Structure formats: C-alpha cells, structure tokens
A = this chain, B = another copy of it.
Amino acid sequence: MRDDPTTREEDWERRTELPLFYASLLFIAGYAVRVLASRSEHLWRDAAGIVVLLTWLCFIGDYAVRLVLSGDRPLRFVRRHWLDSLIVLLPTLRPLRMVKVHDAVQARRERPRRGLYQRVITYAGLSAVLLGFSGALGVYHHEHRDPRSSIRTFWDAVWWVCETLTTVGYGDVAPVTPAGRVIAIGLMVCGLALLGAVTGSFSSWLIQVFRREDEEEPPGNRGSPGAP
C-alpha cells in the first residue's frame, strides 16, 4: 500500500539532510566564535564570519534546488514548507528539523533501533540543547552591551537559558532589550514544546519500564506468581 515511489525531491532531501545538519552545527559554531571572540581577535572573527556566510549559502542553495525540484510555484512552495522557509532566514532554527535528520540517520544504519520513547527523548532533547545554545548566543549578542541588562557574560546567558527552558524563571537575569526579548519569546515557545515532549516521553518510558517488569516477572524467579 505504502510504496509510493520516491520522488526526486525526497531523494535530494534524504541525501542532503545529514550534510546540512553538520553544516548547521558549523553555522552555530561559527556564529558562536563570531559573537564570543573579543573585539581584538580579528583573525578568528573574520574566519568565523566566512564560515557563517558559506554555510548560509549552502542552506539557500539547498532551498533553491528543492524549490526547482518540487515543480511548485514559489508562493505555494513557501506556504507548504513554511518551517523550511523560516529556517533559511534564521538558520539557528535548523535543529527543529530533527525528525528528518533522524530519518536520514536511521536509513544509513543497520543497527537495531533503540526504543520509541528513548529516540523521542534523544532527538527532542538534542534539539532543545542546540536551540538553547543558539538562543544563549543571540541573547548575549544583543544584551551584553546594554547598560540596563543583567546578562553580562556568556555564562549568564547560558544560566538564563536553563532557567527559562525549564520555566523556573527566577528573574535574577532577564533580557531587557527588544531584540533579546523577541529571541526569548521564540525560545520559550519552541523550547517548551520540545521539553514537554522530553518530559512526556520520559514519563511514558518510565511507566512502560514498570509495566514490563510486571509482565516479565511471573514466569521469573518467584515460586508463587501473583495475580496477573
């Protein structure tokens, strides 16, 4: 039933997904060096700037190729792939494509897979970590020179991201600039959904483990099996 022929668009997507994922790691690393390097380290800052530009060009090229392969009119393509369009504008959001990356990784491996909940936890958790790191970079970038801001070092920004994504929100550090707050709002909304998936899957996994024990034990090492 389900053997719809793999279209050229899907084929391209499958082949490029993993390289582009590594490119997005490179993008985030380049952005990190660009933001965190002190003003005097010209060489590092320039190299990082070039890495960011090159990887961004890769993403734009990939988007263009897929637009052509799909055969759609541009507007329709943008509407159908709104998440991808957003990611081309803001490549730090690329971790949100985790499900596709997961698919590409699985297709290459021959190893038996891990359990369903463990994979959801791994991928949603990894996406949340990458998004959180990008968010910390962005907020630090916009906040650390503002005199009213309480986010003075990158470590402050990381601490802020952790207390935000877990929704603890002490308020000892919080963004005050409009750009910082916009990043914060995006981070809260995406991060909450991802961490909700992590928590929910962990809960389901734990219940599954306890339930499995119930089923395994009766024929096990006890002489008197309890009621099923």
Listed in ascending order, the chain A residues whose CB lies under 8 Å from chain B are 2-3, 6, 99, 102-103, 106-107, 110, 112-113, 116-117, 119-120, 123-124, 155, 159, 162-164, 166-172, 174, 176, 178, 181, 184-185, 188-189, 192-193, 195-204, 206-207, 209-211, 213-214, 216-217, 219-222, 224, 226-227
Contact = CB atoms under 8 A, between A and B. Distances in A.
A211 B201 CA distance: 13
A188 B168 contact: yes
A38 B123 CA distance: 46
A210 B119 contact: yes
Given A192-B166, A193-B198, A224-B110, A210 B116 contact: yes
Given A199-B193, A210-B116, A168 B172 contact: no
Contact of A169 (B155, B163, B226): B163
Given A170-B174, A197-B203, A210 B120 contact: yes
A203 to B, nearest CB: 4
B207 A116 contact: yes
| Residue among A166, A199, A213, A226 with the highest chain B CB neighbour number at 10 A | A166
Given A2-B216, A106-B213, A200-B200, 9 more contacts: A107-B221, A120-B207, A120-B210, A123-B210, A155-B178, A166-B189, A167-B168, A171-B172, A197-B206
B113 A214 contact: yes
Contact of A2 (B119, B174, B219): B219
Nearest to A14: B221
A126 to B, nearest CB: 13
A104 to B, nearest CB: 11
Given A169-B163, A197-B203, A222 B113 contact: no
